[in-house]
Chains A and B, each alone.
Chain A
Amino acid sequence: MLIIRRRLGEAVLIGDDVEIRVVEVGSGRVKLGISAPEEVLILREEIRVAGEQNQAAARTATPENLRRLLAGLNT
């Protein structure tokens, strides 16, 4: 991972098309402005984690797992 320090107002350029600028700096938080072509997906990390977890959960809803889950919860 490349670690770069930026001050308020400064930016990082990625490839030819992506720009990330520090728009606001607060205590423990940073506001970032991101410019990228429409087809580039921009996601908060935790949204991707939630999406992966949802996909795993969707595969889980079987009668077999329901039985296992009920047994586990009631012991």
Chain B
Amino acid sequence: MEEFTSSQFGVLRYDSDEVIQTPCGLPAFESERRFLAIEKPENAPIVFLQSLQTPDLAFLTLPVTFLVPDYEPNFTEEDLEALSWEGAEAPRIDQDVLCLAMVTVNPDHGATANLMAPLVVSLANRRAIQLIQAEGYSHQHPLGEKQKEEPC
């Protein structure tokens, strides 16, 4: 068991195989390499992503399928390599990978989720990358309207 003291959750105890590794960091947080996903029943479906390097760095995230049930991620060769993906076909959400969209609360836009660049975590090895998709999904998908059809 390892321990880490976070700003929001106090002392966290976890097994090393729970650690999510981001070998390439995240855009704007390139040196962050280790995270823990924290799920509490009273906060479902929100998943917290807590940095195991910076105590006050955490993200609120939502599973992409909660927002867009038929979400289709597009992986490039480089993405699959970064995940050490060995399958013949593309990874499937919830079976092979976890796909989490980071939530932002902004005075102008309200709460939005970044569906353009979800965090993709391999369930096999806990490696993760932020998958950046140039088109198809919005980086500021509005929340609270999940019943609406995704435009275009």
Docked Cα-Cα span, A47 to B79, in Å, equals: 14
Closest-CB distance, A49 to chain B (whole angstroms)? 6
A-B CB pair tally, cutoff 8 Å: 88
Check if A53 sits within 8 Å of B43, measured CB to CB.
no
- Asked if A14 is at the interface of the complex by the 8 Å CB criterion, the answer is no
Q: Which residues of B contact A61 (CB under 8 A)?
A: 8, 48, 58-60
Q: 16 additional contacts, CB 8 Å, given A44-B132, A49-B116?
A: A47-B132, A50-B114, A52-B28, A53-B102, A53-B139, A53-B140, A54-B27, A54-B102, A57-B59, A58-B29, A61-B59, A65-B60, A69-B103, A69-B105, A69-B111, A72-B111
Check if B104 sits within 8 Å of A57, measured CB to CB.
yes
Closest-CB distance, B106 to chain A (whole angstroms)? 6
- Asked if B123 is at the interface of the complex by the 8 Å CB criterion, the answer is no
- Asked if A35 is at the interface of the complex by the 8 Å CB criterion, the answer is no
Contact A65:B45 (CB < 8 A) given known A49-B139, A72-B111, A73-B144: no
* Size of interface on A: residues with Cβ below 8 Å to B: 25
Docked Cα-Cα span, A18 to B34, in Å, equals: 35
Q: Which of A46, A47, A48, A68 contacts B111 (CB 8 A)?
A: A68
Contact A51:B28 (CB < 8 A) given known A57-B103, A73-B45, A73-B144: yes
Check if A60 sits within 8 Å of B105, measured CB to CB.
yes
Question: Which residues on B are within 8 Å of A, measured CB to CB?
Answer: 8, 26-29, 43, 45-46, 48, 57-60, 102-106, 111, 114, 116-117, 130, 132-134, 139-140, 143-144
- Asked if A27 is at the interface of the complex by the 8 Å CB criterion, the answer is no
Chain A minimum-CB-distance residue to B51: A58
Docked Cα-Cα span, A57 to B111, in Å, equals: 10
Q: Which residues of A contact B27 (CB under 8 A)?
A: 47-48, 50-51, 54
Contact A58:B59 (CB < 8 A) given known A44-B132, A65-B105: yes
Closest-CB distance, A43 to chain B (whole angstroms)? 9
